[in-house]
Every structure is written in C-alpha cells, then in structure tokens.
Chain A
Amino acid sequence: TQLLEQSPQFLSIQEGENLTVYCNSSSVFSSLQWYRQEPGEGPVLLVTVVTGGEVKKLKRLTFQFGDARKDSSLHITAAQPGDTGLYLCAGAISGGSNYKLTFGKGTLLTVNP
C-alpha cells in the first residue's frame, strides 16, 4: 500500500501570511495531484505534476514535485480567507489499463480575516 503523509494536519493563519504544506511518501508516483475540498463538497483538482522537479504556479499557489517523484509541496503566498479548505494530495500509480489515486489525509487550512 502506497501511503501519502501530509503535514501539517491543521493550519490556522491570518490573512496575508504565507504557508507551505507538504506531501511525502516512500513510494514513487507517476504523477501527483493536489485538490481542494470545501465543506459539503467533493474535492476539486487544482493541479497535476508529472515530471520530477516540476514547478507549477496557479496565481498565488506554487506546486512542486520532488526530483525523485516521492514528495510534493504546495506554497500559498498572501493567503486569503477564500483559500480556506481541506488540501489533499493524491499520488497516481498507472500501468496498463489501470489508473488509481492514493490520497493523503489532507491539511485543513483556515485563513482568518
């Protein structure tokens, strides 16, 4: 079983602060995805990273895939209350016709106005 450890589990910050959340595993993934989930809703995909060392930016969010494709980080600059939610990373194992994601337990982020 491939396990993804996310840290921290909970994070409460003030509007305008920067933060980084981490996603670590001992397994190598073919790709890694980050999702955000709001209360009462399903997760929504933010980004997919595929290449080791890859960095992607989505406005104030910066995603990085580790060189060995075992870990990833999400950095948010100048956090806003609208960034509040559960951030989930998910590693993909694909082979042949199979494709499935293993999810971390998430980081619950609260951004206070």
Chain B
Amino acid sequence: SQTIHQWPATLVQPVGSPLSLECTVEGTSNPNLYWYRQAAGRGLQLLFYSVGIGQISSEVPQNLSASRPQDRQFILSSKKLLLSDSGFYLCAWSVASWGYYEQYFGPGTRLTVT
C-alpha cells in the first residue's frame, strides 16, 4: 500500500531563517506531487505541483520554492521566511486513474514563523 511521509511534524522558525520541508511517498511510482498550505481557519491553497523529477509548476508567486530531486521525494524550501509563511503545509500525491485524480495527503507540517 502507498504511504506518504512528511517531516518535521511541527516547526518554529524565526523570521529570515531558511526552511526545508520534506515529503516522501512509498509504494507507488511516478506520482504527481503537490504542496498545499492551509492557513488558520482558511482553505487549502495549492503552492506547487510536480509531474516528474525536476518538473515543478508554481501556482502562486511567493517566497517559497520546491524541488523534486527523486521520483518520490518533494521538498519545499525558503531562503528567508516571512511571518506570512506560517501555516499548515500539506504534501499530497496522486496518480491517473481512469482520467480523474484523487489526491492523498500526508500528515502535514505545522510551521510557525516568529
């Protein structure tokens, strides 16, 4: 069966510090990978998605970047965190099934920028 891991689970970082969040998927090959952010009391915001190694698409201009160095690894980074980067960061994966896409989420990383 497929599993998705995210770490760390929680993170408190000062403004201006760098960020690296990691997501890995097991049990599937060539998944589509996604990074979402969920701000407190708000909905999901898609940040990045990737259809393959080295292929990253950004949905919104922002202070963050993403990379996919391996098939089942997705990394979210920032060189200098802003207060507005606080939130619940979720990684998700999907594969094509009969033309539609269900997305399966990881446990999330709760980031607080102080």
Does chain A bind chain B? no
